[in-house]
Amino acid sequence: MSHQQTASAQAPQNLEVVLKVENLTKQVSSPEGLLTIVRDVSFAIAAGEPVAIVGQSGAGKSTLLALLAGLDTPTSGKVYLAGTDLTSLNEDGRARLRAARVGFVFQSFHLVPALTALENVMLPLELGGRPDPRRTAREALDRVGLGGRTGHYPRQLSGGEQQRVALARAFVTQPAVLFADEPTGNLDTVTGARIGELLFEMNSTSRTTLVLVTHDLALASRCGRILRMEAGGLIE
């Protein structure tokens, strides 16, 4: 790991902080009692910065990602996304903020089966009331090399092609933050490497802040900073 790729909780100096976490904790009830899945986590991420979150299965990575995106609520602590305190918003408020400022790429693609590739990419634009969603979505599919597959449904696309559609959909709204949860996890090595290349290329040109949860250390090493999780907490 290079000298840049440390588990520092600090964002680079003199840059706008787009994601800030203060003493974040998530506990859930279980038959064995109260489980702490995320434990007193604090860090800041600057605008445009690519950051990887790594750790073993069960370390709390995906739960942390859900908290950062407002898909889940913490037991205690604060999450500030693009200057807004997520923990002060209700579910509708968090959904509106996500629609305006956040993109997602998941391991299992999460495309809508009944919609074509073009319609899947148009969806966040239409939900956000953006102008000319068809043209914008077509341009996004061109960027990921799928300009010729706009009318295909997810079942007619390979895994790699489905993840390309998901990348186009994630970037099409020009989000402040893109959350990627194991984006190459369901792909073979070669296809996964291609998707990784595309993810970082699109992130670089869009200046979106990338928060990447991955088991793939080669993918993580391409980020400017790596945050390591163990037993729900960050380790240096």
For the stretch 105-137, pLDDT in tens is: 888 888 999 999 999 999 989 888 888 999 999
Question: E strands of the chain, at which residues?
Answer: 17-30, 33-46, 50-54, 76-81, 84-85, 102-106, 177-181, 209-213, 225-230, 233-235
Domain range 17-109+176-235, CATH class = alpha beta
Q: What is the pLDDT of residue 155?
A: 95
Q: What is the pLDDT of residue 6?
A: 46
Judged by DSSP in three states, 105 sits in strand
Question: What global pTM score does this model have?
Answer: 0.85
Residue 32 pLDDT > 90? no
Q: What are phi and psi of 90, to 5 degrees?
A: -85, 180
